[in-house]
Amino acid sequence: MEIFGLRLKTLRLAKSLTQKQLAEKLDIGKGAISAYEQNTMYPSIDVLIKICQFFNVSADFLLGLSETKDIKISHLTDEQVEIILKIINQFEQIST
């Protein structure tokens, strides 16, 4: 499960958060975030759910069971969704 720590750290840094800031948002200790990122400790189910909800990702993604990072769009306008889909399409064209 080494991928868990790497994905958590990547998600945290993408939001420009320190370990302390993320710990505060999740209502857990800073040491726990450090241990998760170093793969020396893993979160409880309750904390895993909080992490997934905070970052809008699935547990499968965090645990390395899926490479798909779901994006929740229910709070976006139709215009915003259209823009995001165009950007994704452009990235896919560059990748191929």
Q: What's this model's pTM, rounded to 2 decimal places?
A: 0.72
Q: pLDDT over 90 for what percent of the chain? A: 51
Q: Is residue 67, in this structure, part of any structural domain at all?
A: no
Each residue of 27-51: pLDDT tens digit? 999 999 999 999 999 999 999 999 9
* CATH assignment of the domain containing 57: 1.10.260.40
Residue at 22 is within a domain: yes
Would residue 23 count as lying in a domain? yes
Residue 91 in any domain: the answer is no
Structural domain including 23 reads 2-62
Position 12: which residue type? R
Q: What are the residue ranges in the chain where pLDDT is below 70?
A: 1, 69-72, 95-96
d(CA 58, CA 51): 9
Query: Residue 50 and residue 85: Cα distance in Å, rounded?
Result: 27
Q: How many domains does the chain have?
A: 1
